[in-house]
Amino acid sequence: MKITALLVLKCDPETPEPVILANVSDLSQFGKFSFYRSNFEEFIVFIARTVARRTPPGQRQSVKHEEYKVHAYNINGLCAVGFMDDHYPVRSAFSLLNQVLDVYQKDYGDTWRFENSSQPWPYLKEASDKFRDPAEADKLLKIQRELDETKIILHKTIDGVLARGEKLDSLVEKSSELSLASKMFYKQAKKTNSCCTLL
Amino acid sequence: MKQGPCSEEDCFSLLKQFEHILESDPLIDEVGFIHPSQFIMLDEEASSSNVYQNEVQPNNGTSRKFWNKDHKLGISTDILVQLCKYAKHVFLLALDEYKCHGNISCSPCTPESEVMKHSQAVLLLSSDFGTAWNARKLILSKKDQLSAFTEELRLSGLILSNSPKSESTWSHRRWIIKMISQRFSTPQEIITKESELVESIGERSKMNYRAWYHRCWLVSYMEIEQVIQELNKSKRWAGLHVADSSCFHYRRRLMLKILESLYVKGGNAYDKSEARKNWKEELDWNKELVERYVGREALWLHRRFLSLNWIMYFACNDSDVSPEPGESIIINEEIAIFIDNEIQLLESSMTVPDTKFEDFQAQALHAAVYMLWLTKKMPELWRMLEEKLGTEKVKCVMSTIALERPSLLHHLVNV
């Protein structure tokens, strides 16, 4: 049960790319050292932006990508994105994202609408540690809004989130925020995962 | 970034560099292929107090091709293909030399050591090169020190750090273990370490069937005490990876070994009651997980195995004789109670409070399929199902399956 990353983004219809307001990642799976750590971090940011941009306000989405599930929840332009593993219950993930958005609003009010860069936000790290056990996230269900009528869409692949004709491969290739090294890392990861398929 | 073929001289010097690094740092535990642009960044990241640099400094104008600090080795991707081709070529020449002339040589480098040196280089670049693995097997089979084999385990571990799904590498490890067990004894420690290695590789490399297959293979080398230890040690990991069918498959392999030991030896009463306790624990734990983590097929698949064997081997009237497959199972009171509880579990799993996350629907489906599968193994179950649930509910169960998995329904219902 893992929370690999939690991010808060500003999804403004004015700005083309969502702005990352806060970002925490747990890369302990890579050990103290890894050749691929920085590539992976770049990718988290890239995927988070890609998914957040395509999550309209009032919507929740879950996307399966490689061995992760990416969950996004947009409330009025403030979007929380979580990268969890396949084992972490989707339901609990959204409880957590809901909580993250609530606390962010409490801490920052509406000032985030004018924010254009990422700031350290201690609660995010706390949340990432505390809610590693989904049972903790489930406790939140009792105090969260009962009427959460926000629509949820579950996608089996990230191409499902993209517009018709768009493919992740080409977005990666065209991206100016991904280094050459990360683009190569993406291709290698795809190849490694293609030898075993889930039925 | 320089592209284009490198000259024979360049390749020769690159290979020499590569092999020199490997020789001078026997503690390297991780290899990676890195983009040339990452060298500077890696330098910055690495411990600043460690000033150790790759001894062979590149000439002015040539960019660095190898990165080696803190026992990690990175190889620049822009030389990979040429280096690999050249290393293969050199290896094949050395192998020829070894096969033709044996291990006689006037120079300090024996053909044997050349073959080992070059095959190591090749395999780090291309782990599935069978000829190289076989050459190493040929040479190793003539060795009589355990250290040669444990060193080989280290090398294959290093290769796995970059190619965790390489079948040839895993297969070679099995060959090494077989050789060790034939020539020396099989220290339990080696098997334990192998098992831990698979778990750590399984943690960072998902859907790694080959790693888990390897772990299952190890079970045949385990004594019962170790089997039980493994079950206990790996339980926590399994509980945190409920979507991973491989880890539960491994548990089934372990439990099967326990079952087998009961009947092969004609197990005494104590053994059987211990096994019975373990089985019951596993069943209860599985139920907790199933109720806690809704809609996980791996958990329900695990339950099939647990339930059927519980009924056939443990809940049956005490006998030291295992029931014949196909033989009708007499439903005694204990079995009846067990089945009752399973039907209750099915009933509660069939309620779908909401359809937002697909988890409750998945749970209903998996529970239904589970029950249907049991009835196929135990036709007597049908009657109990109808009695307890009533025709309407049974129809509901069947239609759930028909909706999502019509071919499965067809397969399970028809004899």
Q: Does the beta-carbon distance from A87 to B293 stay under 8 Å?
A: yes
- Name the closest residue on chain A to residue B46, using Cα atoms: A33
Token pair belonging to B295? 């809609």
Q: Would you tell me how many other CB atoms lie within 10 Å of the CB of residue A188?
A: 14
pLDDT band at B56 (very low <50, low <70, confident <90, very high): very low
pLDDT band at B265 (very low <50, low <70, confident <90, very high): low
Mutate to test the interface with A, among B301, B356, B405 (most CBs of A within 10 A): B356
Confidence at residue B43, expressed as pLDDT on a 0 to 100 scale: 83
Token pair belonging to B152? 């080989």
Contact with chain B for residue A187, Cβ under 8 A: no
What is the CA angle A104-A106-A111, rounded to 5?
A: 70
Select from B165, B292, B357 the Cβ nearest to the Cβ of A192: B165
- Name the closest residue on chain A to residue B293, using Cα atoms: A89
Stretch 34-63 of chain A: residues touching chain B, C-beta under 8 Å: 34-36, 38
For chain B, which residues make up each domain, given as ranges? 1-137
Kindly report, residue by residue over B299-341, the tens digit of the pLDDT.
999 999 999 999 998 887 665 556 666 667 778 889 999 999 9
- Name the closest residue on chain B to residue A138, using Cα atoms: B292
Contact with chain A for residue B74, Cβ under 8 A: yes
Contact with chain B for residue A156, Cβ under 8 A: no
Select from A1, A85, A89 the Cβ nearest to the Cβ of B359: A89
Contact with chain B for residue A199, Cβ under 8 A: no
DSSP character string of chain A: --EEEEEEEE--SSSSSPEEEEEEE--GGG-S--TTHHHHHHHHHHHHHHHHHTS-TTEEEEEEETTEEEEEEEETTEEEEEEEETTS-HHHHHHHHHHHHHHHHHHHTTGGGG--S----HHHHHHHHHTTSHHHHHHHHHHS-S----EEEEESSGGGTSPTT--HHHHHHH-SSS-HHHHHHHHHHHHHHTSS---
Q: Does the beta-carbon distance from B32 to A38 stay under 8 Å?
A: no
Q: For residue B349, give the 3-state DSSP assignment.
A: helix
Name which of B47-56, B68-77, B100-109 the model is least confident about.
B47-56
Mutate to test the interface with A, among B28, B29, B35, B160 (most CBs of A within 10 A): B35
CA distance B115 to chain A (A): 29
Superfamily of structural domain A3-163: Longin domain (3.30.450.50)
pLDDT band at B139 (very low <50, low <70, confident <90, very high): very high
Confidence at residue A131, expressed as pLDDT on a 0 to 100 scale: 94
- Name the closest residue on chain A to residue B297, using Cα atoms: A87
DSSP character string of B203-222: HHS-S-HHHHHHHHHHGGG-
Select from B35, B241, B357 the Cβ nearest to the Cβ of A184: B35
Token pair belonging to A13? 């219809």
Cα-only R_g, chain A: 16
Q: Does the beta-carbon distance from B208 to A196 stay under 8 Å?
A: yes
- Name the closest residue on chain B to residue A181, using Cα atoms: B35
- pTM of the full structure: 0.90
Q: Scan for tokens 């490198």, then name that residue.
A: B6
CB B199 within 8 A of CB B237: yes
Four-residue CA torsion sign, B197, B200, B206, B212: positive
Q: Scan for tokens 């040589």, then name that residue.
A: B105
| CA–CA dist B310, B321 (Å, integer) | 15
**ipTM confidence:** 0.90
Q: For chain A (length 199 residues), average pLDDT per consecutive 10?
A: 94 85 88 81 94 92 91 94 94 94 93 90 94 89 68 89 90 92 88 57
Confidence at residue B269, expressed as pLDDT on a 0 to 100 scale: 53
Pairing of strands A151-155, A59-65: parallel
Select from B30, B35, B293 the Cβ nearest to the Cβ of A180: B35
Contact with chain A for residue B71, Cβ under 8 A: no
Kindly report, residue by residue over B197-254, the tens digit of the pLDDT.
999 999 888 889 999 999 999 999 999 999 999 999 999 999 999 999 999 999 999 9
Kindly report, residue by residue over B143-195, the tens digit of the pLDDT.
999 999 999 999 999 999 999 999 999 999 999 999 999 998 877 899 999 99
| CA–CA dist B101, B73 (Å, integer) | 34
Mean pLDDT of the residues in chain B? 88
Confidence at residue B60, expressed as pLDDT on a 0 to 100 scale: 35
Measured between beta carbons, which residues in chain A are less than 8 angstroms from residue B32?
Answer: 34-36
Stretch 241-280 of chain B: residues touching chain A, C-beta under 8 Å: 241-244
pLDDT band at B374 (very low <50, low <70, confident <90, very high): very high
pLDDT band at B196 (very low <50, low <70, confident <90, very high): very high
| CA–CA dist A20, A7 (Å, integer) | 7
Please, which residues have CB within 8 angstroms of residue B5's CB and are 6 or more apart in sequence?
B82
**Total residues belonging to chain B:** 415
Name which of B197-201, B214-218, B352-356, B369-373 the model is least confident about.
B352-356
- Residue B112, pLDDT > 60, answer yes
CA distance A177 to chain B (A): 15
Measured between beta carbons, which residues in chain A are less than 8 angstroms from residue B73?
Answer: none
